[in-house]
Structure 1
Amino acid sequence: MTVASTVKSNQHHETRRKCSGSPFHSIKFFVVCHGVLQLSQLLVSGYLKSSVSTIEKRFGLSSKTSGMITSSNEIGNTLLIVFVSYFGSRVHRPRFIGCGAVLVCLAGFLMSLPHFIVGPYEFDNSIASSFNNATDTCWANRSSRAHGLVPTCGAGKVQEDSRVLFLLFSSQILLGIGGVPIQPFGISYVDDFASASNSPLYLGILFAITILGPGLAFMLGSVMLKFYVDIDKFSSDEIVLEAGDPRWVGAWWLGFLIASSIVAVSAVPYFFFPRKMPKETVNCERLEMKDKTEMLAGCKVTSDALRSLTLLEFIKKFPHILLRTLKNPIYLIVVMGQVNLSAMVAGLATFMAKFMERQFTITASFANLLIGGLIIPAAVMGVVVGGVIMKRLQLTVKQLGVMCSIALFCCLCVAAPLLFIGCATQKVAGITHHYNSSEKLKLSSQCNSLCFCEPEAFNPVCGSDGVEYISPCYAGCKVVNVEPLEKKVLNYTECSCISTTGTEGLASPGTCGSSCSHLLKTFVILVSVIAFVASLSQTPSFMMVLSMDAWACPVRHCH
């Protein structure tokens, strides 16, 4: 037996051992592990989006600030992604993925830290918080002023805390850095060692999980926000607010602890995967099949040349590579399409729950339930169906472009009816509605001028005239009727600012609600269909980006 035949025989036995031995030499097992990690990683990043309105209320953040926080994780991601493309072929990719997962885990724990460094959540003094049946009414505030008990202005107002902002921003940046190697390294690892026929299916599964992760995050948010924010500091008997109260704040921090713990566990297997594994074949037992990597060797000359470059040489050649890439109009169009679609999805994912809360008068928990239980699963189905269509029809790159164009055009058509779904802004006295036609928009009016209402009070009531008031005091209410057993407010009466048929009206606790709540079902159905149709283009568009060199090297797609 010659030396060459001996080496070939040893390689044959080694390949057979890897095919039938450790699961860490199986690309299928890697896909399973990577799916779990992506799921848990996106559970951390997606959970913030499900809790945006709650965190805003808890720490007094504006929508502008919360939007900057949610987008700050792209800072570290954007700065490092180019270097990841350089080091990707030179490092132990599974271990780098594991290290990235550890950073994601740390970022998740940091996100929950503000809850433990600030005091308990405080809301304005009201019936619910003090059990004083006269609190927050016109007579109560007038009596307090008469006895010199002037309320402290802004005592119940939550202001932005620099410590909280620092932790939220830094944890999001760390989350972006940790997420850099996870998806690119994972996808390239699958693309390198999966068979050409199975690769689209595997990538379709991973993309579906990429969307499923935020979906589960919204479901987790739906559950966590049903618990009071300070559930670890107060017993259930001491919690006087209910989930339907506008001042309710849920346990936003608890979800981060749960999601981060899952990431920590899912990171462990990556430290046991090899740097390289055998190329997957259609049937692992049929080792006599020709290695398909040899069929693609002609397409990888450029890639191999780049891998041999030093970091300094790569930096010098990068402008030339970038310019050559920018001269490819088809590549630019595909990338611009992905960027615009991603920008739309990012904005919707961040503020859709808040929009649904305000527009349809539902709780944060229920809004998250609708998004995570209906809308996002529809998008997952779209990604999977798109991958299956690619696998069944064996579409060429040109056909992939046609498929993406058709899907997005249909998405545009389905989205058109959303332009006509909406309702008028709720009438809020002194903010969006005048107390009377002769006055300017301001909270104080002649009808409540003697009530000495707290400027920062927030205990909304709905008047019998259909107008919402930010507190019973600003409605001029003098009497509160309380259910004697459960100590719940039934209504407020003798309200001087509420006039119905010439007599003083009454007000009920809570907001007036939305005039278009009946459109919620239509809205959810339309958005779900849009998510499904738009997601059909996700896998094809990504495969187009991966296959850009196929136009210069058609051998790549010779399966």
Structure 2
Amino acid sequence: MTVEKGEDSSSGQTPEESPKKDGPAQIAPDLTVIQFIKVFPKVLLRTLRHPIFLLVVLSQVCLSSMVAGMATFLPKFLERQFSVTASYANMLIGCLSIPSAILGIIVGGILVKRLHLGPMHCSALCLLGALSCLLLSLPLFFMGCSTHQIIGISHQPRAQPGLELLGCTKPCSCPSDDFNPVCDPSTRVEYLTPCHAGCTQRAGTEALDKSKVFYTNCTCVEGGGPVPAGSCDSACSHLVLPFMLLVSLSAAMSSVTHTPSFMLILRGVKKEDKTLAVGIQFMLLRVLAWMPSPVIHGSAIDTTCMHWAQSCGRRAVCRYYDHDLFRNRFIGLQFFFKTGTLACFALILAILRQQDKEERTKVVTCPGLQQQPLVSEPEKKPEDSRV
């Protein structure tokens, strides 16, 4: 009967007392839009001051920044690093990375449901997934090749001595703005134009290969050619599949944290603040992750350009990248965001353990307060279950 008295007392509140509650779930039906706007900052600050909510949102911001950068620039990275076509790069991403991420989300949801994971176990699962994702990204730093030698541009990393001393381009006065690369397959040296290779004649396509254009009488090429038109292929083309497998496994491990981190938000904030907390979460993800992350990745990639094309006297498209810098800065940004995710989940686990330790301390220091409900509990159990 105690529960019924509580219900009567709660239902007997006057209309003037009921709007004093802070939660938007209780006050929203009775408030106008202007009154709700006045209450909103108070509830927003209370939600943002919650440590678990704030750390979970920061971890998801780091993960979303990583995903936004990968989704925007991973096809370009595969094209430049492994000399694959744009269609093949996008096919690899669609067939490997996206299904792996979906599978990781499903596995995370199954683990939370079947194992009945509480907040502490959810944070431990998130920490394990973030750590696995971080470890799988370490080999990516070493899966790639340096930029091959290119004749006709000023900045060339690890240039081979002697190629600049041939002097074949000086008499020709080859224009630096033209871009029609040819490749010497025997030495893997690329020339910006046939003029830079000293070529004076274009061979007929039917004489050698109908699918390619060849140039002959090239004074800068050993033997005089012929050399095919087009850039030199990467020496690391065979590493594209192992690279994508590691990226897919890393995406799966990071996606495992999706459902348990969402449960940390729902179980951490107050009942009346859950709806607003979810809205704030998605707002912060778009403002702090999906909007600035492509700009950050794009700016970092632009710093690795070796040769820019000029259009009307202004910088247009990057023709050549320093592959080592490109790989280190692109994967380094991913590694940075994954480290931030790991740090946030580690702090969440530490806070939850501290809270659990404080609760156990209260139970030990105040045994009388814990034993008192046990005496009257048998009379209240049937009504509590019914309610």
Q: TM-score, structure 2 length as denominator? A: 0.58
User: What's the CA shift string for 1:319-360, capped at 9, x where partnerless?
Assistant: 322221222111111010000110011001100000000000
Instruction: Tell me: CA distance 1:399–1:412, structure 2 relative to 1, closer, same or farther (3 Å).
Output: same
Q: Distance in 1 between matches of 2:170 and 2:64?
A: 51
Q: What does residue 216 of structure 2 align with?
A: 493
Aligned pairs for 1:59-458 within 5 A: 302-306=24-28, 308-431=30-153, 432-433=155-156, 446-458=167-179
Q: Distance in 2 between matches of 1:490 and 1:422?
A: 28
Q: What does residue 344 of structure 2 align with?
A: none
Cα RMSD, aligned residues only: 3.2
- Is 1:518 paired with 2:238? yes
Q: Which structure 1 residue ranges, 5 or more long, are not aligned? A: 1-298
Q: Given residue 511 of structure 1, which amino acid in structure 2 is its aligned partner?
A: S
Match of 1:460 among 157, 165, 181: 181
Which protein is bigger by CA-based radius of gyration?
2
Q: Distance in 2 between matches of 1:473 and 1:479?
A: 10
User: What's the CA shift string for 1:128-157, capped at 9, x where partnerless?
Assistant: xxxxxxxxxxxxxxxxxxxxxxxxxxxxxx
User: What's the CA shift string for 1:482-518, capped at 9, x where partnerless?
Assistant: 23388544522221222x3xx5344222211112112
What secondary structure sits across from 1:496 in the alignment? coil
Q: Distance in 2 between matches of 1:397 and 1:326?
A: 19
Match of 2:194 among 466, 469, 472: 472
Q: Distance in 1 between matches of 2:211 and 2:96?
A: 34
Deviation at 1:300, TM superposition (A): 11
Q: Given residue 495 of structure 1, which amino acid in structure 2 is its aligned partner?
A: C
User: What's the CA shift string for 1:8-58, capped at 9, x where partnerless?
Assistant: xxxxxxxxxxxxxxxxxxxxxxxxxxxxxxxxxxxxxxxxxxxxxxxxxxx
Q: Distance in 1 between matches of 2:102 and 2:141?
A: 25
Identity %: 43
Instruction: Tell me: CA distance 1:547–1:476, structure 2 relative to 1, closer, same or farther (3 Å).
Output: same
Q: Distance in 1 between matches of 2:242 and 2:202?
A: 38
Q: Distance in 2 between matches of 1:340 and 1:377?
A: 21
Deviation at 1:388, TM superposition (A): 1.6
| Contact 1:415/1:530 (8 A) holds in 2 | yes
What secondary structure sits across from 1:477 in the alignment? coil
Q: Distance in 2 between matches of 1:484 and 1:416?
A: 48
| Contact 1:361/1:517 (8 A) holds in 2 | yes
Match of 1:541 among 261, 264, 289: 261
What secondary structure sits across from 1:386 in the alignment? helix
Q: Given residue 360 of structure 1, which amino acid in structure 2 is its aligned partner?
A: F
Q: TM-score, structure 1 length as denominator? A: 0.41
| Contact 2:152/2:196 (8 A) holds in 1 | no
Q: Given residue 491 of structure 1, which amino acid in structure 2 is its aligned partner?
A: F
Deviation at 1:373, TM superposition (A): 0.7
Q: Given residue 458 of structure 1, which amino acid in structure 2 is its aligned partner?
A: F
What secondary structure sits across from 2:204 in the alignment? strand
What secondary structure sits across from 1:472 in the alignment? coil
Instruction: Tell me: CA distance 1:449–1:319, structure 2 relative to 1, closer, same or farther (3 Å).
Output: same
Instruction: Tell me: CA distance 1:465–1:356, structure 2 relative to 1, closer, same or farther (3 Å).
Output: same
Instruction: Tell me: CA distance 1:490–1:317, structure 2 relative to 1, closer, same or farther (3 Å).
Output: same
Q: What does residue 14 of structure 2 align with?
A: none
What secondary structure sits across from 2:269 in the alignment? helix
What secondary structure sits across from 2:217 in the alignment? strand
Q: What does residue 38 of structure 1 align with?
A: none
Q: Distance in 1 between matches of 2:53 and 2:141?
A: 32
| Contact 1:435/1:497 (8 A) holds in 2 | no
Q: Given residue 540 of structure 1, which amino acid in structure 2 is its aligned partner?
A: P
Q: Distance in 2 between matches of 1:391 and 1:300?
A: 32
Q: Given residue 549 of structure 1, which amino acid in structure 2 is its aligned partner?
A: V
Q: What does residue 509 of structure 1 align with?
A: 229
Q: What does residue 124 of structure 1 align with?
A: none
| Contact 2:26/2:272 (8 A) holds in 1 | no
Q: Distance in 1 between matches of 2:116 and 2:160?
A: 66
